[in-house]
Amino acid sequence: MNNGPVGDCEALIVGAGFSGVYLLHRLREAGFDARLIDAAAEPGGVWYWNCYPGARVDSQVPIYEYSIPELWRDWTWRERYPGWRELRAYFRHVCDRLSLWSHITMGTRVASAHWDESERLWRVTTDAGDMLRARYLLPCLGFAAKAHVPEIAGLESFAGEWHHTAHWPQRGLSMAGRKVAIIGTGASGVQVAQEAAAEAAHVTLLQRTPILALPMRQETLTIAQQEREKLGYPAIFAARLQTSGGFDTGSVDTSALDVDAEARRYLFEKQWQAGGLRFWYANFADLLTSEQANRHAYDFWRDKVRARIADPALHETLAPSEPPHPFGTKRPSLERNYYEIFAQENVALVDLARTPVQRIIAEGIETADGLIECDLIVFATGFDAGRGGLMQIDIRGRNDLRLADTWREQVTAYLGYAVHGFPNLAYLYGPLSPSGFANGPTAAEIQGDWVRDFLVTLRDRGFTRFEAEEDAEREWTEGVAAIGSMTLFPRAMSWYMGDNIPGKPRQLLNYPSVIGFAKISEDVAADGYRGFALA
């Protein structure tokens, strides 16, 4: 690995996750002087920062990788759902194979980006004190770039160690023999809890809302098996572009209410046994639009899960009779033995709905029920999803307009790429694009190709400036909300809706279909990039 220099360039990409690395490759291929900067020591995006024990992807191989043949032909995975170490190794392989290293600067954080209208370029500074200019600013920060640590009184007085899962020490941290408290039961909380239960002297899991977790059914992969499977990769990668989530398949074309109980159960059981997120993305067509259809899925999930929870007293807390929210309107997570760990003597569950946290003191966490003694607190408390990563950079557009101010009351964007008032800025995998609803590599390829084509068109036609028009932006922003209101997503308090961050405005932050998004983006391009003012 080597690190390229920081300097002026035509296109500055910020972020070395799936979107940024793909866009760098495509822009270099198209002859742009493109550079990529990232604060992490190594490429990988979330797979760099989230190195907590058990961190792994919940989309299966080969869905969670690039479709470029020179990248998959001689790459083999060890597990169906790879962990962060393997994913980081994959990113190194990608940068080697695509010869990207000399165009990447790692270990450098972009601090500010100010638009200079007279020169029509972005003036960018880094935390290392570098200053550079770029015609185009292309943030590829992902939706989980800003970790959320809730304000709990007394945290500063805690005598032990605490970490957010997304800022886990890179040197590693053993939980063996320790008393661990984990706050949060999202995907990260489930993963870290399973590891902690196997290692720690004692684990207390503090749950605010039960996670509706699905069985992962992890598999070890052999080279021979993958070589056979690779014959089918081109078809799988083509199929990814035809589904709303960017997975290998979409929902079945039938309502759960148009079939009898036996047929319903057949599909539920089939996807449950297939494992992974299939019970979510390959379920009945109206799973996420009809409350009644959704309730059938929830009841199936609840009964399956209850059968695995040894202590009946925990049934209502972990898998309530009535759904805490419609199934799948908060991100389900994948689990291996999550429901079994509660039978272990070293594992305790605290239901924060009944026993809220009062404060943290030197010895641990005080709740209404007494002290949870611990020497390690894990905050698995999620992210300021979508907008957080962009808003923490001092981005200023025309007339010194700050992006953080523009988005304070509501996130607005055209096509989930561009913001009125911020010329020559296009972000990928961010708010009002499919982002959190879409498989990362699928969205990265669709969006990366679109931005590459856009910049090529601007270059070919002699344009040096683009800006989203206000009307087009309003229409897109309202359109995402309107589509959202036809679904059950607003029925849950979730990061999809911005609910997890105190004070964050409530709105659906993701466009709920990759295929729908790709189609509209193509139409916009075919229509001369309507909605963008080109100069």
Q: How far is the CB of 328 from ligand NA7 (least distance, A)?
A: 12
- 493 is written with which tokens? 């308090």
Q: How far is the CB of 199 from ligand NA7 (least distance, A)?
A: 19
106, 38 Cβ separation under 8 angstroms: yes
In angstroms, the CA 302 to CA 267 distance is 16
Nearer to ligand NA7, 64 or 414 (CB): 64
What is the signed CA dihedral for 61, 64, 66, 70, rounded to 10 degrees? Answer: -20
Nearer to ligand NA7, 108 or 500 (CB): 500
Nearer to ligand NA7, 167 or 230 (CB): 167
Nearer to ligand NA7, 376 or 524 (CB): 376
In angstroms, the CA 516 to CA 524 distance is 12
391, 382 Cβ separation under 8 angstroms: no
Q: How far is the CB of 327 from ligand NA7 (least distance, A)?
A: 14
Closest CA to 194 of 334, 364, 317, 328: 334
Q: What does the radius of gyration of the chain's CA atoms come to, in whole angstroms?
A: 23
Closest CA to 167 of 2, 39, 79, 64: 39
Query: Shortest Cβ contact with ligand NA7: which residue?
Result: 186
391, 404 Cβ separation under 8 angstroms: yes
Residues that bind ligand NA7 in the complex, under the rule CB under 6 A: 144, 150, 165, 183-189, 208-209, 331, 352, 380-382, 495, 500
Region of residue 170 (phi > 0: left; psi between -120 and 50: alpha; otherwise: beta): alpha
The residues, any chain, with a CB within 8 Å of residue 277's CB and separated by 6 or more, are 58, 59, 214, 247, 332, 334
Nearer to ligand NA7, 209 or 346 (CB): 209
Show the 3-state SS of 476-488.
Answer: HHHHHHHHHHCCC
Q: How far is the CB of 149 from ligand NA7 (least distance, A)?
A: 9
Q: How far is the CB of 422 from ligand NA7 (least distance, A)?
A: 27
Nearer to ligand NA7, 181 or 380 (CB): 380
Q: What distances in angstroms separate CA 341 from CA 49, 85, 125, 348, one per listed residue? A: 26, 24, 48, 9
Q: How far is the CB of 128 from ligand NA7 (least distance, A)?
A: 29
Q: How far is the CB of 143 from ligand NA7 (least distance, A)?
A: 8
Q: How far is the CB of 350 from ligand NA7 (least distance, A)?
A: 10
In angstroms, the CA 399 to CA 252 distance is 50
Nearer to ligand NA7, 187 or 282 (CB): 187
The residues, any chain, with a CB within 8 Å of residue 460's CB and separated by 6 or more, are none
Nearer to ligand NA7, 108 or 194 (CB): 194
Phi then psi dihedrals of residue 488, to 5 deg: -90, 0
Nearer to ligand NA7, 27 or 492 (CB): 492
Nearer to ligand NA7, 20 or 421 (CB): 20
In angstroms, the CA 65 to CA 71 distance is 9
**For residue 193, how many C-alpha atoms fall within 13 Å in the half-sphere facing its CB?**
32
Nearer to ligand NA7, 95 or 180 (CB): 180
Show the 3-state SS of 425-475.
Answer: ECCCCCCCCCHHHCCHHHHHHHHHHHHHHHHHHHHHCCCCCEEECHHHHHH
The structure tokens 């209850």 sit at 306
Nearer to ligand NA7, 55 or 403 (CB): 55
Q: How far is the CB of 186 from ligand NA7 (least distance, A)?
A: 2
- 415 is written with which tokens? 């096509």
In angstroms, the CA 25 to CA 70 distance is 13
| Beta-sheet strands, E only, within 199-299 | 202-207, 214-215
